[in-house]
Structure 1
Amino acid sequence: MRALAYRASSVLTQRGSGISTIAALQRHTRVPYVFPTPMNFMLPTPHSQHPWTAVRGCAPVVSTHRGKRTGVNDFEVDDVVQRALDRLTLLAETTTAMTSTLDPHAGVQRVCRIVVPQLADWCAVDLLEDDGRPRRVSVVHRDPAVLPVGGLTGLLPDVPEDPVGPLARVLVGAGPLLLTAADIRSPGEAADPLHLRQLELFDQLGTDTAIVAPVRARRQVLGALTIGRTNKRPPLTADDLATVEDLTHRIALGVDNARLYRETQHIAERLQRSLLPTLPGSGPVRLAARYAPAATTAEVGGDWYDSFPLPNGSTTMIIGDVTGHDLRAAITMSQLRNMLRGIGCDRQEPPGHILRRLDLAHHSLYPHATATCLYALLDRGDDGAWTLTYSSAGHPPPLLVTYDGDTRHLDGGHGLLLGVEPDLPRPHATETLPARSTVLLYTDGLIERRGEDLTNGMTRLRQHAAALAREPLDTFCDELLAGLTADHTDDVALLAARLPTASSAP
């Protein structure tokens, strides 16, 4: 379908796209339009869940201009419409590239491959590091053979205090800047190291004209976009500045969103870790714990672990998971942990009794919240044998790993989740532990996979743990996380205890 004119009031696109198309038509044809015969056709739309937007338009008609009948050149309007559609397509593809990933470097590399060759012969993106130093993260040329092995990416010299070169000026807020052949000097005329790197780039890529524009979001410059054309294509002009500015706006939104996500993720992780305890460092039993936030979210979770000695000499091993992934879950987790510490130290009862008391308190204070918890006591008898007495409130069973690599889950002492039925008695079980064996407590994020039966995850855990049975305890924990938590969608906590050799018994 040949599109020749549009009804401006019917263009349902985002800011800076459809309306600019109408403006371009009127600016180039300089003829007022009338629309007697509407037609429907589609335009690509950035920032929309629908990749195309319906537009009402019509064929050109003879219009009245100062009392005269004025005709519109069909080919001129066709060319304007085609260029406007190409611009909209470029912007839509850029938006898709930046919103399809939370890695800003990957996003800008995709954008560069879109810009080249649609708009330029080559494209480069420089982003400012946290310390303010620029890093060239992507350089794309329409002829890959022009680029040296390894590309032209990497850290750049610092931005000078008195910026002279176009890149330095843009990185402090100027621009966008259009550089003609007369503005692009030889590398020998560079004013500073950063200017030298930019002129070397122009020289190496055979640049005739270029545009350098700031990548700016929330009144802060995040980097710069540079595009260039050789003398084999029409030069870049002032008409291209608006397109480049729209491009940098979309790049900036993507980069800024990715950085905000990263900062939020780090804040959530620091908050979570601040709520976790320091493990006892003395005694014959070695303890190690790990916490890993969800790889695909920046939410605070309710996973937790704890271990502390009781006045009677027992060593507690505790792990739990409060339902939810928000600040409320983290607060509930912290308060449950502190209540359990107080109940355990005060009562020094079997684990089933302790969990029942915790459930009663939990039901009174948080009547609408549920949680899982496993409370265990490590004790050494007079004969030197170690035992684990434990009770589970809906939590995955502990895993026992012997020094020889035999593994089995400890399924005794299982009861309902906390917050379901606090009046029911809670069982506990006791297991004799071999010397040099490892006891592992963990949350469900270590074994659960979307669309997979839970038994598959438990089997996978046993296989990994068996292979690590003789590794140092820290290595044991690190390798379990590395092998089982790739792209996990839930946070993970684990607590491991390594028993001493039989000869160390009194």
Structure 2
Amino acid sequence: MTGPDAPGRCVVVEPSTADVALLRGLSGVDLVSPGEIDARLGTSPEPVDLVVVGSLAASPVALAQRAHRLVPGASVAVLSTDPAAVRRQVSYAPGVPLDVLVGTAGDTGLLADLRQLREAAAGRRRHAAVLAAVARRAAAAPGGPAPGPAAVGSLLEHAPIAVLVVAPSGELLGWNRRAELVLELGQAPTGHPVDEVVPGALAYVAQLAADGPPPAPVHLGIGDRLDVELTAVRSQTDQGRPVVLLLVADVTAQRRAERERDRLAEQVQLLARVSETLAGSLDVEESMARLADALVPVLGDWVSIQLREERDQLAGVTVRHRDPALAGVTREIERVILRRAAGSEASRRAAGGDAVLFPSVDEAVLADQVPDEELRALVRRLGTASALAVPVPGRSGLLGSLLLARGPGRAPLEQGDLALAVEIGHRAGIALDNARLYAGQRHLATELQRSLLTDPPHLPGAAIAVRYVAAAREAQVGGDWYDAFRLPDGDLVLVIGDVVGHDTRAAAAMGQLRSLVRGIGFTTAATPAEVLAAVDRAVDGLQLATMATAVLAQLRLPGDGEGPGLLRWSNAGHPAPVLLGADGRARLLGAVDGAADLLLGVDPAARRRVEEAAMAPGDTLLLYTDGLVESRSHALDEGLDLLLATVERHADEGLDALCDAVLDRMVPRGGQDDVALVAVRPRAPGVAGP
């Protein structure tokens, strides 16, 4: 059976076994794969009244959008094992029919709902066919056409859908009563192009070939007043004159709902992007820059973000414009605002807690809102036709303001944009508050850590350099330490260590261990191994309950005519020191047998060994903690190889420059762990300098 009364097909994509069992209750079911859907729906000779996206579909909403685009008249259902998640996606996904059904194969009454959906689509199809038949009968009715507008027949005149009678060349010939009401035709002249009534209809009529299938329905807008869906049907008058019947459906409410849904979807996506962007940084300046990049040009043509300190002093300004050519102007605005505190009145009000909107900004508004002439001239160059400003609130007060502006040629900002900006301001405030808190805590932790460490001694016979870098993503004191001091006999002692852990307990243990090593080393005049063994016994006897790696080195500097100096060291499970020779070659100072001694705090009776090496003037000894060479991005051996290559590359530089070059290469933006570094380079007797 064919024709408008024939039942349309039900096309099912990616069904599960449960879906197939359910759909056995429907007739005319075709199973297709996602790859076949375009061919099946786009070129099918049979009508399709229902498309069911099955539970096995990887992207069910995308398939529903695809089906609606290919067969707009068909109903769409989505079966899923997680219908709630699909409903959330459908609620803001564009291009999905408003009456889409979402459910699971086990839902009670689902089969009846599917049948009802299918019948609704078939009813729409039959109604369109009846109107086409009425039009044909009216065109073939006896009696010549009345002069003036073409007669459309009494049945067509009272049809519940608007109908325009158009010549194949596009001239308007007549219309029915519904068209006159919907399109407000009044005294619309016949013989004029149909575009004067429905802009864009002429191009649609031109697609109607004499022997081909009719084009798919098209959506057109009549100004801001009306949205219509046009369907073209060939016909002829009783005199055999070919005409085109344009069936005009008022879809204004539907299109308005779809646009509102799309607008809300865009807002949800923007808020998600803003949250994701801000979550990626704990640096205040970087967070402000990321926020500006997320908002421009999506929400505005340019943005100004201003942060204030507790005493209402400007702490930072970020200005961005969508046009990179205006980057120089935005930087100058930042300088003017920071130098003279010459912000706009809108930003000042927003910083005080008000949300303000200027749907139209003319010269008078600009002069009122930007009193500073220099700043106003710069703002004028950015282009401002509408603007808004909202507060950026933190947890315990206002942090600043966010100002957005759009230039001429773009839809003005409105209340919906203001509400969205307020929400963005809240999210930005939380993120920036976190960044500020982190920055303050990290600064405090770093200063506390540095206060536990001392400056190295000044020696006429050697240069000493120390460095400490806190972990880039931590705001806690840690257990890394260094030390350098002279013994009563003049020997130099260098210590590097790392307490297990990274918290205040580790920091406290570090302070205790550092004091023990310094005290025992200075008073006993023992060898490095004997000092570390004594520290082991003290940790056990004092019940410090801590463990640490460490290297303790004693250096007897070379004297006049005595040859090279003597370096002795003991290593308690710590990364091997680096010795850079005056000839520019570097090597690791490991144990002769390759075995490592135990960490401090493991066994008070552990055997400790002493290693020795000659150290001539111009040689460099480098002690460091594991944060310098260990990383998630490479293995320890790779880090050690890179360290040796780096010190050799900068062997000719002064000791401070060498240490800075090592840190820049090994931890360019701060590492994942704290890094402590101490280096010494003996000088030849009587030679001054670094």
Deviation at 1:481, TM superposition (A): 1.5
Say how many residue pairs are matched. Answer: 443
Match of 1:440 in 2: 622
Aligned 8 A contact 1:322 1:333 in 2: yes
- Normalization by structure 1: what TM-score? 0.78
Match of 1:353 in 2: 530
CA distance in 2, matches of 1:495, 1:433: 16
Match of 1:10 in 2: none
CA distance in 2, matches of 1:450, 1:110: 26
CA distance in 2, matches of 1:430, 1:93: 59
CA distance in 1, matches of 2:646, 2:608: 31
Residue 483 of structure 1 is aligned with which of 642, 665, 678? 665
Match of 1:409 in 2: 588
Deviation at 1:176, TM superposition (A): 0.7
1:167-203 deviations in Å (ceiling 9; x for gaps): 22323x041111243676266567743xx46644553
CA distance in 1, matches of 2:325, 2:633: 45
- Normalization by structure 2: what TM-score? 0.58
Match of 1:138 in 2: 319
Residue 419 of structure 1 is aligned with which of 588, 601, 618? 601
Match of 1:306 in 2: 483
CA distance in 2, matches of 1:360, 1:134: 52
Deviation at 1:108, TM superposition (A): 3.6
Match of 1:341 in 2: 518
Residue 455 of structure 1 is aligned with which of 637, 652, 664? 637
1:189-246 deviations in Å (ceiling 9; x for gaps): 67743xx466445533332321111222134332321122345344333343221110
Deviation at 1:304, TM superposition (A): 0.7
CA distance in 2, matches of 1:306, 1:174: 51
Rate the CA distance shift 1:502–1:455 in 2: closer, same or farther, 3 A: farther
284-293 or 119-128, which deviates more: 119-128
CA distance in 1, matches of 2:327, 2:580: 54
Residue 236 of structure 1 is aligned with which of 404, 410, 413? 413
Match of 1:31 in 2: none
CA distance in 2, matches of 1:134, 1:446: 33
Aligned 8 A contact 1:129 1:135 in 2: no
Aligned 8 A contact 1:139 1:153 in 2: no
Aligned 8 A contact 2:346 2:388 in 1: no
1:305-357 deviations in Å (ceiling 9; x for gaps): 11111223322111111111111111101100101122112221111111111
Aligned 8 A contact 1:400 1:440 in 2: yes
2:345 partner amino acid: G
1:404 partner amino acid: D
Aligned 8 A contact 2:320 2:330 in 1: no
Match of 1:389 in 2: 568
Rate the CA distance shift 1:184–1:359 in 2: closer, same or farther, 3 A: farther
- SS at the partner of 1:415? coil
76-85 or 415-424, which deviates more: 76-85
CA distance in 2, matches of 1:267, 1:164: 34
Match of 1:472 in 2: 654
Whether 2:456 is the aligned partner of 1:279: answer: yes
- SS at the partner of 1:248? helix
- SS at the partner of 2:337? coil
Q: Structure 2: give runs of 5+ residues left out of the alignment.
A: 1-81, 90-100, 104-112, 118-251
Whether 2:577 is the aligned partner of 1:398: answer: yes
1:419 partner amino acid: G
124-133 or 78-87, which deviates more: 124-133
Whether 2:432 is the aligned partner of 1:255: answer: yes
Match of 2:153 in 1: none
CA distance in 2, matches of 1:340, 1:170: 57
CA distance in 2, matches of 1:338, 1:147: 54
1:499 partner amino acid: P
Match of 1:492 in 2: 675
Aligned 8 A contact 2:557 2:682 in 1: no
Match of 1:30 in 2: none
1:391 partner amino acid: S
2:672 partner amino acid: T
Aligned 8 A contact 1:137 1:154 in 2: yes
Match of 2:473 in 1: 296
Deviation at 1:163, TM superposition (A): 9.3
Match of 1:155 in 2: 335
Q: Structure 1: give runs of 5+ residues left out of the alignment.
A: 1-37, 45-55, 62-71
2:681 partner amino acid: R
Aligned 8 A contact 1:401 1:438 in 2: yes
Match of 2:447 in 1: 270
1:287 partner amino acid: I
Whether 2:346 is the aligned partner of 1:169: answer: no
Match of 1:501 in 2: 684
1:469 partner amino acid: A
* RMSD after superposition: 3.4
Structure number with higher relative contact order (C-alpha < 8 Å, ≥ 6 residues apart)? 1
359-368 or 492-501, which deviates more: 359-368
- SS at the partner of 1:156? helix
- SS at the partner of 2:485? coil
CA distance in 1, matches of 2:504, 2:687: 44
CA distance in 2, matches of 1:390, 1:92: 56
Aligned 8 A contact 1:212 1:224 in 2: yes
Whether 2:501 is the aligned partner of 1:321: answer: no
Match of 2:357 in 1: 178
Deviation at 1:363, TM superposition (A): 2.7
Rate the CA distance shift 1:380–1:118 in 2: closer, same or farther, 3 A: closer
- SS at the partner of 1:422? coil
Rate the CA distance shift 1:342–1:119 in 2: closer, same or farther, 3 A: closer
1:124-163 deviations in Å (ceiling 9; x for gaps): 323336882364313223x555665665552333699999
Deviation at 1:116, TM superposition (A): 3.8
Residue 394 of structure 2 is aligned with which of 217, 223, 230? 217
2:562 partner amino acid: G
Match of 2:382 in 1: 205
1:496 partner amino acid: A
- SS at the partner of 1:448? coil
Aligned 8 A contact 1:375 1:390 in 2: yes
CA distance in 2, matches of 1:456, 1:117: 44
- SS at the partner of 1:384? coil
CA distance in 1, matches of 2:315, 2:556: 58
CA distance in 1, matches of 2:617, 2:630: 30
Aligned 8 A contact 1:445 1:490 in 2: yes
Rate the CA distance shift 1:376–1:224 in 2: closer, same or farther, 3 A: same
Whether 2:266 is the aligned partner of 1:86: answer: yes
Match of 2:308 in 1: 128
Rate the CA distance shift 1:466–1:240 in 2: closer, same or farther, 3 A: closer
- SS at the partner of 2:486? coil
- SS at the partner of 2:520? helix
Whether 2:278 is the aligned partner of 1:101: answer: no
Q: What percentage of residue pairs aligned between the two structures are identical?
A: 33
- SS at the partner of 2:571? strand
